[in-house]
């Protein structure tokens, strides 16, 4: 009968037109389709985040020169961590779309423990031999509780305080970095210094945002205290029970009450503008923050910034890992690239490029790191400031939904900055944190 034929013909036409459209509009590079045979050219896609990525451009060139069959494409420069992680989670869950090598941030890697079967166990590619190349706690963070090697460490945050020496001078505070560090052995003394600054300088604020300092204080307090933050090591949500969380919250609230905060939301346009216009005098400064400051404040502020020791004792905020999703069609080559990029040499190169502090003890001992100074920060000896203590750090365990809970607490602190009661907001933080971590 003619109807079925007609129908079929229509279906054929429809299919054909869809196919035409598909080919006509398929502009994506089919990098991972080029077959898994290792003799053909291999195109590896590396997914990173942050404005400048991870500082790997030269390393890629070097690797491509040494491996003529490999071509490397990087994606994600300019992408914020939040967007990056959302997308990565979807890609990993869908089992498609992720790069051959992906960056996992400290706060999010635990989330992927549960999906460890979607990642290549790097131990299968000889990663265990490299254990000595990483700080013990960094290695531990990169491995799942049952011993799979999920990711190899790139950098650690370490901790310092970056400050505007010109503003300090105008406010009658010391400007030399040793003296500045001596000003605040504890956080309470940091707040006292801030109050002195605020009394002398009505135009600028002492800190950029309370939430940045909160994160630093929490990671430091937890490192010396319980060793975990919102989740205990069995992944139970303990935001209300962990004294470290509340202590950090209270300290930050005190900072806000003293009127020290510029109330700028991290990584917002106004925060960026705050750097350019120099509206605040200090900022919590993990090693990777130095690159951010330099990029934001620009050449006009060169030499005005300096770096001093953070109050308290050591600590870490941030730092990442590189992993290989199972969806990669070139798992072997990708694992090799990961090993290369996270080698002590690779980490040293990235440090020179962006200031990201190595997680490899060998790299940390490398003269190129130890003796490094940063011209932008008044020739501060960044290798010493950040490197000292990095190797003695105790790891802080971050739970699976760490970022969601953290956002809830940060929101409460922001509300305190906007004039709400600190006690009420602490209750809100508990409530919203519980909901976010459920």
Partner 1 sequence: MTTTTLRPPVRRPAGPPRASHRSDRLWKASPLTWFGLVLGVILSLFPFYWMIVIASRTNDAANSWPPPFLPGGKLGDNIQRVLANGDANIVKGLLNSFLVSGTITVATVFFGSLAGFAFAKLRFRGKNALLLIILASMMVPIQLGVLPLYILMAKLEWLNTMPSVTVPFLIGGFGIFMMRQYAEQAVPNELIEAARVDGCSTWRVYWHVVAPALRPAAAVLGLLTFMEQWNQFFWPFVVLADPANPTVQISLRSLNTAYFADNSQIFAGTLIATLPLFVVFVLFGRQIIGGIMEGAVKS
Partner 2 sequence: MSLDLHAVAPPDHGPERGARPAHRRPTSLTRLDLKYSPYLYVLPFFVIFAVFSAYPIAYTVWIALTDRSPLNATISFVGLDNFVELITDDPQFWNAVVNTFGMFLLSTVPQLLLALVLANALNRKLRAQTFFRMAIAMPIITSTAVVALIFSMIYAKEFGLVNWVLDTVGLDPIDWRANRFASWFAISTMVDWRWVGYNALIYLAAMQSISKDMYEAASLDGASRRRQFWSITVPQLRPTIIFTLIISTIGGLQLFTEPLLFTSGSGGLSGGSEGQFQTITMYLLDVMNQRFRWGYAGAVALVLFLLIALMSTVNYLLARRISSDK
Binding residues for partner 2, per CB under 8 A?
Answer: 1-3, 6-7, 10, 14, 80-82, 86, 89-90, 92-93, 111, 114-115, 265-271, 273-274, 277, 279, 400-401, 403-404, 407-408, 410-412, 414-415, 417-420, 428, 431-432, 435-438
223 binds, among partner 2, partner 1, none (CB under 5 to 8 A by kind): none
Smallest distance, partner 1 to C-beta of residue 352, A: 20
The distance of closest approach from Cβ of residue 410 to partner 2 in the complex, given in angstroms and rounded to an integer, is: 7
Residues that bind partner 1 (CB under 8 A): 18, 21-22, 24-29, 50-52, 73, 75-80, 83, 87, 90-91, 93-97, 267, 269, 272-273, 276-277, 292, 295-296
Task: Find which of partner 2, partner 1, none residue 69 binds, CB within 5 to 8 Å per kind.
Answer: none
The C-alpha atoms of residue 433 and residue 438 are separated, in whole angstroms, by: 8
Between 157 and 311, CB nearer to partner 1: 157
User: Least Å distance between CB 17 and partner 1?
Assistant: 8
Instruction: Quote the least distance from Cβ 111 to partner 2, whole Å.
Output: 6
Q: Which is nearer to partner 1, 28 or 419 (CB)?
A: 28
Of 367 and 419, the one with the shorter C-beta distance to partner 2 is 419
C-beta closer to partner 1: residue 89 or 195: 89
Partner in contact with 28, chosen from partner 2, partner 1, none, beta carbon below 5 to 8 Å by kind = partner 1
């Amino acid at each position: 009968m003619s109807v079925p034929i007609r129908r079929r013909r229509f279906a054929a036409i429809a299919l054909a037109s869809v196919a035409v459209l598909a080919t006509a509009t398929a502009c994506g590079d089919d990098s991972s389709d080029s077959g898994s045979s290792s003799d053909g050219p291999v195109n590896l896609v590396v997914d990173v985040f942050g404005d400048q990525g991870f500082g790997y451009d030269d390393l890629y060139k070097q690797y491509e020169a040494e491996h003529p069959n490999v071509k490397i494409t990087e994606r994600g420069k300019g992408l914020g961590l939040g967007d990056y992680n959302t997308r990565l989670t979807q890609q990993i869950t869908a089992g498609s779309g992720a790069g051959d090598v992906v960056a996992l941030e400290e706060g999010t890697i635990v989330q992927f423990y549960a999906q460890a079967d979607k990642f290549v166990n790097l131990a299968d590619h000889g990663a265990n031999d490299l254990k000595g190349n990483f700080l013990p706690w960094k290695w531990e963070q990169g491995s799942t509780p049952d011993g799979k090697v999920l990711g190899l460490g790139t950098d650690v945050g370490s901790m310092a305080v970056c400050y505007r020496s010109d503003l300090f001078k105008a406010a009658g505070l010391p400007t030399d970095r040793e003296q500045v560090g001596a000003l605040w052995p504890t956080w309470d003394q940091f707040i006292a210094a801030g109050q002195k600054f605020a009394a002398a300088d009505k135009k600028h604020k002492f800190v950029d945002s309370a939430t940045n300092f909160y994160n630093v204080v929490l990671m430091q307090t937890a490192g010396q205290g319980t060793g975990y933050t919102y989740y205990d090591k069995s992944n139970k949500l303990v935001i209300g029970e962990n004294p470290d969380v509340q202590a950090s919250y209270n300290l930050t609230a005190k900072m806000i009450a003293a009127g020290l905060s510029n109330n700028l939301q991290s990584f917002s346009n106004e925060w960026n503008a705050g750097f350019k216009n120099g509206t605040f005098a200090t900022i919590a400064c993990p090693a990777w923050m130095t690159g951010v400051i330099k990029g934001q404040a620009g050449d006009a502020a060169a030499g005005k910034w300096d770096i001093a020791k953070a109050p308290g004792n050591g600590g870490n905020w941030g730092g990442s890992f590189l992993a290989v999703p199972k969806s990669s069609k070139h798992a072997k080559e990708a694992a090799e690239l990961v090993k290369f990029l996270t080698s002590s040499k690779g980490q040293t190169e990235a440090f020179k490029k962006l200031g990201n502090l190595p997680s490899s003890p060998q790299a940390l001992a490398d003269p190129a790191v130890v003796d490094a100074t940063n011209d932008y920060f008044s020739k501060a000896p960044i290798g010493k400031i950040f490197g000292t203590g990095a190797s003695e750090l105790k790891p802080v365990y971050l739970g699976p939904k760490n970022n969601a809970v953290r956002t809830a607490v940060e929101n409460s602190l922001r509300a305190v900055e906007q004039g709400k009661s600190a006690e009420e907001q602490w209750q809100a933080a508990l409530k919203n944190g519980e909901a976010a971590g459920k």
